Amino acid sequence: MRIAALAFGVLALTFFIVRQQRNAPPVQAAEPGKTALLIRFGVDGVKDADWSGSIAPAPSRLRGWQFDANDSSGAADWKCITREQTYWDTPYEREMGPTSRKTKVTVKGVVAEFDLSTPEVRIATAHGSFTIVPDAGLWTAPRRFLDGRVEVRAAPAATAFANLQKESEDYPSLVEARDGTLWMAYQAWDGKADRIYVRRYKGSAWSRPEAVASEGGDYFRTAIAEDRDGKIWVAWAARTGANFDLYAKAYDGRRWTTAERLTAAAGSDIFHSLIRDRSGNLYLAYQSARSGNFDIYLRIYDGRRWSDEMQISSDPANDWEPVLAAAPDGRVTIVWDTYAKGDYDIVSRTLRNGKLGPLAPIANSGAFETRASVQYDAQGRLWIAWDEGDWNWGKDYGNLIPESGRGLLVRRQTRVAVLANGKLLETKAAISAAIPEDLRQVFQQPHLVLDERDAPWVFFRYRVNLPQGGGGGGASRAMWRTGATAYRNDRWLPMIEFPEGYGRIDAPVQAVRTRDGNLGVAWVSDGRLWPNGALREQEMYFASLPASSSAAPSDLAAFKPSSENLRVSHDREAEDVARVRAYRAKTGSAGWRIVRGDIHRHTDISWDGNRDGSLNDAYRYALDAAAFDFLGVCDHQAGGSVPYNWWMIQKAVDLFTIEGKFAPLYSYERSLPWPNGHRNVLFAERGRSILDLSDAERRGEEGAGKLYAYLRRSGGITTSHTSATGAGTDWRDSDPELEPVVEIYQGYRNSYEAPITPRQVGRQEASRFGAGFVWNAWAKGIKMGVQSSSDHVSTHISYAALYVDRLDRTALLAAMKARRTYAATDNLILDLRMGEHFLGESFDAESVPALKAYVRGTGPLARVALVKNNRLIYTAAGDGPELTFTYTDADAASGESYYYIRAEQTNGQIAWSSPIWVRKR
C-alpha cells in the first residue's frame, strides 16, 4: 500500500471552475496518498429505504453518488433514500418502436476518500453498522455487508486538472520517459481558440502547464512519445485554411523546437497515433482525406528526420482511426478499421525491417467492428480491443418500415482478442461478464493497456440511463461514464467505476503503464451530474491504479466472431447511389446535379441522444453507411448552449469535409413547444453564435421574428420539422428567404404531408395538432420546398435531395433557398418541371404550361400521384423502375396554383417533390 502512494492520488491542482448544476457541490481534487471507497446502498432493490448514515473517521472528502435533490451529504454523514423510479431504458429491440421504460429502485451511495494509512473505516446506518479495511483487495472483489444490502468497492481517487486560464480541456495523451517522468499532452480551449499544453509528473507534483502551441488555433487531438535521444515529441492536428494538417514539436531537455509541419495534403490529416519502436524510431500513423476518401498513411522519424509519407491503405472505401503497436522484436503494426466490404472491419499491416507486409484481417464479420486499441506483450502477441456493434449498422432502421438494419447505437460492446502466430484467440471468460447486466448493451470506446506482467486492462465508456424527470426540466435521458476491468485468474474483474468519469460517448481515456507497476490514467469529463445529466464545460482528470497481476493470461481459446446475420435490403445500393449522382437536369442555361444528405441528425450531445451515436459516429454513418454528400448535425441548442460543445460540433464539420465529395453544414436545433415548434438552423460559414431560447418563445407569446432577424444578420436559414405534433407549428410565421424548406418526413416518426397519406398514421396527436400538416402551410400561401431527414435513432430511410451546380456549403444553402429540393426514403430520382421552370420555382404565365415529370426508382414503381392545391388530380401507374409523364391542366383558373408529385414504389419506398407555383394571369 505504501508503494502505491502515487497509485491513489497526486497533488491537488487549481480546481477548474465550471457551471454548477442545481444542488451540485463542486468536485475537488484528490490529495496525495489517498484511496477512495464507493459505498453503495440498497443494492438489494428495496424501495423507500432510508440509508442515511455516517462514516468514521471523517474522510478527507465525502460526496454523494447518484444522489438527487432530496439527498444531501456533509463532511462525515449523509441523508438518502432509495426510491423506485421510471427510467429511460433501451433494451436490445428488433423493432425500433418507442423508447422503452423500465421501473427500478435507484441505488444510492457515497464516495469517501481516506489516507492510505487509515487502518479501518466504520459505516453506521439505520439498518446496521459495519467496519471495512480499505485494502487492495477491494480492487479485485467488491464486498457485501448487512445481508448483502450494501456493497463496498475501490474507486480511483481522482485529481482534477485545470490551468489558470480556466480552459476546456480535451484529448490527453500520456507517456512515461526513460528517466521516470510522466508526460501528459492535451489541448485546451479558452473560449476563442485551442492551445496545446504539456504537464510533467516526477517526484510528488505535476508541473504547471507548458504551452507547446500557445499562439491559439483550431486543434484536434494530441499524441506524445519519446525518441531514441530522450526527446519528447508532441503531435497534433491543426486547421490550416480549409483542412487539418499534422504538426509536431520536440523537447530536447532545455527547450521546445519550432513546430514542424508533417503533412500538407489538400484533405484533412487526422486521428493520428504516435509510438516508439525498440530502436527508438518514432512512427506517426494518421487518416488522410485524399482522392475523395480517407486512407491511412505513415511517417517514420529515425532520430534525424521524418521520412516521406508511406501509404498504408488504398481501398476506395474509407479507412479510419489508425493505432500502432511496437513488438519486442522490432516489428511495428498499424491497425485500423475499414469500410471496404460495406461494413466496418478491423485490419492491419506490419512493418518488419522497413518492409510493409500484406493486409491482414483481424475482425471481419458483418458486424460493426471499429476503433481498435492495441499493444504487443513480451511474447510478441498482439492484444486488440475494439467496438463491436450490430450487423447492417446504419442501414434501414426506423418507424413504420420493414427493418433490415440497426441504428447507430442499438448495441455496442467491447471485444478483446489476441493475435498469436497468425491465429486470433480470446480469453475464455467474456469481458461482458465484468459489466453489470443492465449496463451491458452499450460499453464501448476501449483503451487497452498491458500491466507489468502482460495482463490486459481495458478502459471504456458505458451508458447509464437516467430516471425520467429526475433532474427537472431539460434532464438528459442518459449519461456516459468511464469504467475499467482487468483480467485476473481466468476472469475479468468486476467493473471499476470512475465516479468523476461522466462525459460524452467519445470522451477520451488514456492509460500508460508506469515503472512502479501501476497504471496512470487520464480522462475527460464534461461535468454531468446525476440525475440531470446536463452537459457542462470540459475538465480533465488523472488517477493511478494499482495494476500488478499474478501472471499473463494463458487460458485462451479460438475467437468467436459475431454470428448475427441480417438480410441486405439494398443489394444494388452502390449502383443506385451512382445513378443519382450521375443524373443531370438542365433548365435554360443552368445545369443541376443531385446531392443527397440529412440535415437533422442528433448525437449523444443532445439531452435525448441516448440512442444516438457519438459525433464521430454521425459522420461515419453519413460517409459510409448512407453514402451522403452532406450532413447537418443538429443537436439541441448545439449541446445545451455550452460553448465548447458548439466549438466541437463546428470543428467536426471541418474535420470531415472532403472537397468535392462531402460538404457538411454548421447546424443546430432550436426546440420550442407548439406553436413555435422545433426548427433546425443551418449555416454555410463557421463562427456564428447560438441564439438562446426565450421564455416568451416557450410560452408562444413571441413568434419567430427574433429568429428571422438573427438569421438575416448571420446568413443562415431554418427549417421546421415534426410540424403536426406538439413540437410543431401552425405556420403563424414564415419567411420564404429564411425558412425555404420543411421536413415533410422523418424516419424516426412520421410523414407530415397531410392526414391519411403514405407513411402517416392517424394518431391522436395529429388530430390535436393537425394545423401543422404541410398541406396547411401551402394552403396559407407559404412557399416551402420539402426535404426528409432522420432526427433521432432512425437510419438510412430519410434523404434530403438537393439540385446544385456544385458541391459546397454555399451551393447547398442556395439550393434550399431556391427550393430545388425533394424528399425521399430511398435513392429515387425526381425531376419535375413546367416548361423551363423547375421544381421549387414560382412564376407568372398567361397560360399554365404542361407539366413534365420523370421518376427513376430503386425498384418497380407502383404509382406517381400529381397533387394540385392539396387535391389529387392525376395518377400515373408504374410499370418498372422508370416513369415519365406529361400533364396539361385543362382546369387551370386564374390565380396561383401549386403542383407536386409523390412517387411510390411497390416495396413502399416514397419520394415527394417540392411544388411548382404558377400564377395564371
pLDDT given at position 471 = 57
Residue 56: is its pLDDT beyond 70?
A: yes
pLDDT given at position 673 = 96
Q: What pLDDT digit, counting tens, does each position of 666-693 carry?
A: 999 999 999 999 999 999 999 999 999 9
pLDDT given at position 62 = 95
The C-alpha atoms of residue 493 and residue 545 are separated, in whole angstroms, by: 14
In this structure, are residues 8 and 135 in contact, taking their beta carbons and an 8 Å threshold? no
Q: Residue 434 phi/psi, 5° resolution?
A: -80, -15
Compute the residue count for the chain. 921
How does the average pLDDT of the chain come out, rounded?
Answer: 92
The C-alpha atoms of residue 614 and residue 504 are separated, in whole angstroms, by: 8
- pLDDT-derived band at 164, boundaries 50, 70, 90: very low
- pLDDT-derived band at 357, boundaries 50, 70, 90: very high
Decide which of 298 and 563 is more confident. Answer: 298
Mean pLDDT of all residues in 536-550: 84
Mean pLDDT of all residues in 217-235: 97
pLDDT given at position 624 = 98
The C-alpha atoms of residue 816 and residue 812 are separated, in whole angstroms, by: 6
Nearest C-alpha neighbor of 256 from the set 193, 293, 209, 220: 209
Amino acid at 191: G
pLDDT given at position 225 = 98
- pLDDT-derived band at 571, boundaries 50, 70, 90: confident
Between 219-233, 338-352, 497-511, 564-578, the lowest mean confidence (pLDDT) is in 564-578
pLDDT given at position 135 = 85
Q: What pLDDT digit, counting tens, does each position of 395-404 carry?
A: 999 988 888 8
pLDDT given at position 570 = 87
- pLDDT-derived band at 386, boundaries 50, 70, 90: very high
Residue 18: is its pLDDT beyond 50?
A: no
- The pTM of the full predicted model, rounded to 2 decimals, is 0.94
pLDDT given at position 102 = 85
Place of cell 475499414: 338
Contacts of 355 (CB under 8 A, 6+ apart): none
Between 376-385, 434-443, 740-749, 756-765, the lowest mean confidence (pLDDT) is in 756-765
Between 23-32, 172-181, 800-809, 859-868, the lowest mean confidence (pLDDT) is in 23-32
Residue 231: is its pLDDT beyond 50?
A: yes
Mean pLDDT of all residues in 19-45: 62
pLDDT given at position 27 = 33
The C-alpha atoms of residue 225 and residue 202 are separated, in whole angstroms, by: 17
Most confidently predicted of 78-92, 180-194, 517-531: 180-194
Element (H, E) at 817: helix 809-817
Residue 841: is its pLDDT beyond 80?
A: yes
For a pLDDT cut of 90, what percent of the chain falls above it?
81
- pLDDT-derived band at 57, boundaries 50, 70, 90: very high
Residue 26: is its pLDDT beyond 90?
A: no
- Cα dihedral across residues 308, 314, 317, 321: positive or negative: negative
In this structure, are residues 118 and 137 in contact, taking their beta carbons and an 8 Å threshold? no
- pLDDT-derived band at 765, boundaries 50, 70, 90: low
- Cis before residue 675, ω within 30 degrees of 0? yes
The C-alpha atoms of residue 838 and residue 584 are separated, in whole angstroms, by: 13
pLDDT given at position 568 = 80
Residue 96: is its pLDDT beyond 80?
A: no
Residue 28: is its pLDDT beyond 50?
A: no
Residue 703: is its pLDDT beyond 90?
A: yes
CA dihedral angle for residue 898, residue 901, residue 902, residue 906, rounded to 10 degrees: 160
Q: What pLDDT digit, counting tens, does each position of 843-902 carry?
A: 999 999 999 999 999 999 999 999 999 999 999 999 999 999 999 999 999 999 999 999
Q: Residue 297 phi/psi, 5° resolution?
A: -130, 165
pLDDT given at position 534 = 82
pLDDT given at position 816 = 98
In this structure, are residues 187 and 236 in contact, taking their beta carbons and an 8 Å threshold? yes
Residue 535: is its pLDDT beyond 90?
A: no
The C-alpha atoms of residue 747 and residue 401 are separated, in whole angstroms, by: 9
Mean pLDDT of all residues in 79-92: 88
pLDDT given at position 101 = 74
pLDDT given at position 473 = 56
Residue 162: is its pLDDT beyond 90?
A: no
Residue 647: is its pLDDT beyond 80?
A: yes
Q: What pLDDT digit, counting tens, does each position of 455-480 carry?
A: 999 999 999 999 987 655 568 899 99
Radius of gyration of the chain (CA): 29
Residue 22: is its pLDDT beyond 60?
A: no
Q: What pLDDT digit, counting tens, does each position of 415-460 carry?
A: 999 999 999 999 999 999 999 999 999 999 999 999 999 999 999 9
Mean pLDDT of all residues in 18-25: 30
Nearest C-alpha neighbor of 411 from the set 433, 437, 434, 442: 442
Between the CA of residue 396 and those of 414, 642, 661, what are the distances in Å? 24, 33, 23
In this structure, are residues 536 and 149 in contact, taking their beta carbons and an 8 Å threshold? no
Q: Residue 809 phi/psi, 5° resolution?
A: -65, -40
